[in-house]
Amino acid sequence: MKKLGGVRLSHHKGTQDFKTVRLPLPKTVVIPMVMNMGAPCTPFVKPGDSVLVGQKIGDTDAFMSVPVHSSVSGTVKAVSDIKLANGRSCKAVTIETDGNQTVSEEVKPPVVNSKEDFVSAVKQCGLTGLGGAGFPTHIKLCPKTPVDTLVINGAECEPYITSDYREMMECPDDIIEGIRLILKWLNIPKAYIGIENNKPEAIKLLTEKVEKYPEISVYTLPSTYPQGAEKVMIYNVLGRIVGEGQLPSDQGVIVSNISTAAEIHRYIKTGMPLTERRVTVDGDIVSKPCNVIVPVGTSVREVLDFAGCDTERLKKLILGGPMMGMCGFDLEAPLGKSSNAVLAFEKISEPKETNCIRCGRCIKACPLKLMPTELEKAYHARDIKALQKLKVNLCMNCGCCTYVCPASRKLAEINQLAKALLPRT
Amino acid sequence: MNNLTVSPSPHVKGSMSTQRIMLCVLVSLLPAVIASCIIFGLRALLLILLCMAASACFEGVTRIIMKREQTITDLSAAVTGLLLALNLPVTIPFWQAIIGCFIAIVIVKQLFGGLGQNFANPAIVGRIVLMLSFTTNMTTWAIPFNWNVNENMPAGATGSIEIAGNTVFTGPTPLVTETASYKDLFLGNVGGCIGETCALALLIGGIYLIIRGIISPVTPVAFIGTVALLNLIAGNDVLYQLLSGGLILGAFFMATDYVTTPVTSLGKLIFGIGCGVITFLIRQFGSYPEGVSFSILLMNIVTPYIDAFTMTKPLGAKKIKKEAE
């Protein structure tokens, strides 16, 4: 099996040994109606309504979406438009907390007797992939083709982020039970938990935990970025290639983030939907880097203040990892379901772009064996045919090419711009 | 409220830069520079410094005239100057060396758009132009270790020239005599361009570049391997052919130039084999004793075609159906 490209990054996992702490309840939360890929939800509540923890406050009929629940108990102050980090705007519900965190009566364990019940329960949990991309989980659980393997993604290949690692160290039983639920209801015979070898403690712990379940094994991955990319993980764990235009299920695989699996178990057991999540807070001006449990809708500022970040010095705010995360532009922006990290930096380097020297490092680094240097030329020439031939549509924006480029060319960025030139199919 | 920087991912950057790569190449050539000074004396060092300075000047002045951003600090001009100097005989008049630098930097590199845009290796073209223009000067090889001005003609010398009032004895390249010992060839105790004679120093530098990940071992291995194989078939003294002339210098330092050679490993393999074949053909059948620089130039020219032929196959990519015309 040929090795895929990728890059070795400094891990910066300074928060990995800190036990997760809980954020003091914020005074207000702003809960966006879009926190996942897919359709936006319509808010049910209006200003003045009181809401409870776990109460559904927004939903949609669209299949490619999940409902939104209140993460706090309190009073709705406003339903307004906000701008998200990706530049889009959506409706959001502002709730003033009452401090009691009274749990809604809606919160009760779902009755699951069939695959349909299970999938619907996962949807009602409001669950989206907790790894960062925010793909609605229930859709993954409805493959159109037979699936023989579940791959649980515990790679956490981005620098700084340790929220999945803390999940593995603190809630290994939830993870295992979540995996068993998926295996049971989807009738999948085998599960692999893929973990990068820079997390030996997690590998050891989970290997012990899965000993009594022969259908689950832990698979050690090399710690080269991007192990956690779906296609890369499937290739490295199973040797299967997810082809162009295919879903993992076309190769008989479902990939799920490890914290997502644990969340499935917690919901089935307690009925408490996804209203809070673990967020890694780190960066060069964060004096108390930590992993913190944050109610959905908490502002970035709240989390940074808690971690002792001097926001006056803040120059760059990254939501997610440094390789694929998005820049935040507003400290009041709320954290959603897929926010796995908040990174605050004062020192930022913006190296000057120089001529391509055709060193080929980008080609070697690309895990999908694309040719970023050629793609860049084709993009500047607006050569659509060449872009198609070079398969720019396969680029997953992992950023390896930009990372390794000695001429500091913005190759990954160009690829995303180039994709926009392709005719819609 | 302070302004936040918003930029597309990735937000971290590896430490490798063009300047660092060039610096690594300069460092890797240090053993060859030292060897050239020991073997050919102070004039070799002067020649090297002159070529590096002239190249940097030409680069700087051209960029100013063309109203482009200054690029001296990327050190690529220094590398070109150094490589060109190593490809010259110690006895070459300085003004001719400067012409070589002009050809390399201004004509071959800057007129095509600067670093990354040139289609041929500047140092190679500089050397070839000098070779064709000043053939006698470019094929007059000083006898090693005679820079202390020997009174008596050393063994192997066939002539002498006057340089700055000193007599320098000269002789033919080992590619012509075919009488040098392996040890002399390996350590550089033979006539030749100042940087090409000491195989040991070049190998140290080449291996350093491979270990640092600056060059791929594919090109030099394919190049040298092909020359070895063809000489074996032709019944020549393989080791002698490998150690003499500019093969090792060319294979490790000139045929691995990023800009003018293919980007993929398969492309580099084809490039190396092509260089090897042409070098062998010129040495075996051509009227020139040496063919390394011509082979690299010729392969530079076909590089775009090799690149087009050796594109990578992206993971899981579907074949594009040919449109019905």
- A119 and A260 assigned to the same domain: yes
For residues B273 and A222, give the distance between their C-alpha atoms in angstroms, rounded to a whole number: 34
CATH at A284 = 3.10.20.600
- A155 and A238 assigned to the same domain: yes
Summary count for chain A: helices (H), strands (E): 13, 17
Query: In this structure, which amino acid lies at residue A338?
Result: S
- A243 and A119 assigned to the same domain: yes
- A264 and A134 assigned to the same domain: yes
Number of domains in chain A: 3
Contact A206, A195 (CB under 8 A): yes
Chain B hits for A363, Cβ within 8 Å: 263-264, 312
Chain B hits for A413, Cβ within 8 Å: 8
For B217-252, letters b (16+ CB in 10 Å) and e give bbbbebbbebbbebbeeeebebebbbbbbbbbbbbb
Asked if the model's pLDDT at residue A329 lies above 60, the reply is yes
Is position B320 within any domain?
no
Q: ∠A33-A302-A291 over CA atoms, to 5°?
A: 95
* pLDDT interval class at B139 (50, 70, 90): confident
Q: Which tokens hold the place of A375?
A: 């793609």
Chain B hits for A242, Cβ within 8 Å: 316
Q: Torsion angle of alpha carbons B104, B109, B111, B117, nearest 10°?
A: 160
Q: Which of B11, B263, B318 sits opposite A245 (nearest CB)?
A: B318
Q: What is the pLDDT of residues A339-368, one digit of tens each?
A: 999 999 998 888 889 999 999 999 999 999
Q: Which tokens hold the place of A91?
A: 């409706």
Which of A231, A254, A270 is the endpoint of a domain?
A: A270
- A126 and A234 assigned to the same domain: yes
- A190 and A203 assigned to the same domain: yes
Q: What is the pLDDT of residues A379-423, one digit of tens each?
A: 999 999 999 999 999 999 999 999 999 999 999 999 999 999 998
Q: Which tokens hold the place of A302?
A: 């709240």
Q: Which of A314, A323, A407 sits opposite B4 (nearest CB)?
A: A314
For residues B10 and B254, give the distance between their C-alpha atoms in angstroms, rounded to a whole number: 33
Asked if the model's pLDDT at residue B160 lies above 80, the reply is no
User: Which range of residues forms the domain containing residue B178?
Assistant: 18-309
Chain B hits for A406, Cβ within 8 Å: 16-18, 20-21
Task: Note whether A356 contacts B: Cβ–Cβ < 8 A.
Answer: yes
Using a CB–CB cut-off of 8 Å, the residues of B that contact A are: 2, 4-14, 16-18, 20-21, 71, 74, 76, 113-117, 258-259, 261, 263-264, 311-318, 320
Is position B11 within any domain?
no
Is position A289 within any domain?
yes
- A183 and A212 assigned to the same domain: yes
Contact B123, B83 (CB under 8 A): yes
The lowest-confidence range among A163-172, A231-240, B118-127, B152-161 is B152-161
* pLDDT interval class at B151 (50, 70, 90): low
Q: What is the structure's pLDDT at B325?
A: 41
Q: What is the structure's pLDDT at B164?
A: 66
Q: What is the structure's pLDDT at B147?
A: 65
Is position B263 within any domain?
yes
User: Which range of residues forms the domain containing residue A294?
Assistant: 21-107+273-345
Which of A293, A312, A345 is the endpoint of a domain?
A: A345
- pTM higher than 0.90, yes or no? yes
Is position A133 within any domain?
yes
Bond before A189 cis per omega within 30 degrees: no
Q: What is the structure's pLDDT at B157?
A: 72
Q: Which tokens hold the place of B134?
A: 């000043």
Contact A398, A157 (CB under 8 A): no
Percent of chain A with pLDDT over 70: 100
Is position A2 within any domain?
no
Quickly tell me which residue has 């040797």 as its tokens. A239
Sequence-distant (6+) residues with CB within 8 A of A381 are none
CATH at B237 = 1.10.3430
Is position B315 within any domain?
no
B2–A357 C-beta distance less than 8 A: no
Q: What is the structure's pLDDT at A350?
A: 82
- A284 and A398 assigned to the same domain: no
Is position B12 within any domain?
no
- A129 and A261 assigned to the same domain: yes
Q: Which DSSP category does A105 fall into?
A: T
* pLDDT interval class at B153 (50, 70, 90): low
Percent of chain B with pLDDT over 90: 73
Q: Which DSSP category does A101 fall into?
A: -
Bond before B262 cis per omega within 30 degrees: no
Asked if the model's pLDDT at residue A299 lies above 90, the reply is yes
- A293 and A255 assigned to the same domain: no
Which of A213, A244, A270 is the endpoint of a domain?
A: A270
A406–B17 C-beta distance less than 8 A: yes
Element containing residue A266 per DSSP (H, E): helix A258-270
Asked if the model's pLDDT at residue A10 lies above 70, the reply is yes
Residues in chain B: 325
Q: What is the structure's pLDDT at A150?
A: 96
Q: What is the pLDDT of residues A95-122, one digit of tens each?
A: 999 999 999 988 899 999 999 999 999 9
A355–B117 C-beta distance less than 8 A: yes
* pLDDT interval class at B168 (50, 70, 90): confident
| Closest-CA distance of chain A to residue B236, Å | 35
CATH at A176 = 3.40.50.11540
Chain B hits for A391, Cβ within 8 Å: 314, 317
Q: What 3-state class would DSSP assign to A409? A: coil
Cα A160 to chain centroid, rounded: 14
Is position A14 within any domain?
no
Is position A233 within any domain?
yes
Q: What is the structure's pLDDT at B165?
A: 66
For residues B77 and B55, give the distance between their C-alpha atoms in angstroms, rounded to a whole number: 6
| Closest-CA distance of chain A to residue B133, Å | 30
Q: Which of A313, A315, A324 sits opposite B5 (nearest CB)?
A: A315
Q: What is the mean pLDDT of residues A242-256?
A: 93
Mean residue pLDDT across chain B: 91
| Closest-CA distance of chain B to residue A69, Å | 30
B21–A370 C-beta distance less than 8 A: no
Cα B224 to chain centroid, rounded: 14
A322–B12 C-beta distance less than 8 A: yes
> What is chain B's alpha carbon radius of gyration, rounded to the nearest angstrom?
21
CA distances from B166 to B36, B42, B94, B116, B275 (A): 19, 13, 15, 42, 38
A369–B315 C-beta distance less than 8 A: yes
Q: What is the structure's pLDDT at B148?
A: 56
For residues B60 and B40, give the distance between their C-alpha atoms in angstroms, rounded to a whole number: 30
For residue B12, the chain A residue with the least C-alpha distance is: A322
Q: What is the mean pLDDT of residues B181-195?
A: 90
Element containing residue A418 per DSSP (H, E): helix A411-421
Q: What is the structure's pLDDT at B324?
A: 45
- A321 and A262 assigned to the same domain: no
A394–B317 C-beta distance less than 8 A: yes
For residues A69 and A59, give the distance between their C-alpha atoms in angstroms, rounded to a whole number: 9
For residues A245 and B314, give the distance between their C-alpha atoms in angstroms, rounded to a whole number: 13
Is position A11 within any domain?
no
Asked if the model's pLDDT at residue B318 lies above 90, the reply is no
Sequence-distant (6+) residues with CB within 8 A of A355 are A407, B18, B113, B114, B115, B116, B117
Q: What is the structure's pLDDT at B287?
A: 85
- A90 and A101 assigned to the same domain: yes
Contact A218, A210 (CB under 8 A): yes
Asked if the model's pLDDT at residue B15 lies above 60, the reply is yes
Is position B316 within any domain?
no
Is position A245 within any domain?
yes
Number of domains in chain B: 1
B12–A324 C-beta distance less than 8 A: no
| Closest-CA distance of chain B to residue A242, Å | 6
Asked if the model's pLDDT at residue B290 lies above 90, the reply is no
B9–A399 C-beta distance less than 8 A: yes
Is position A356 within any domain?
no
Of residues A76 and B325, the one with the higher pLDDT is: A76
Asked if the model's pLDDT at residue B149 lies above 60, the reply is no
For residues A399 and B133, give the distance between their C-alpha atoms in angstroms, rounded to a whole number: 49
Element containing residue B174 per DSSP (H, E): helix B174-177
Is position B1 within any domain?
no
Q: Which of A315, A358, A370 sits opposite B258 (nearest CB)?
A: A358
Is position B190 within any domain?
yes
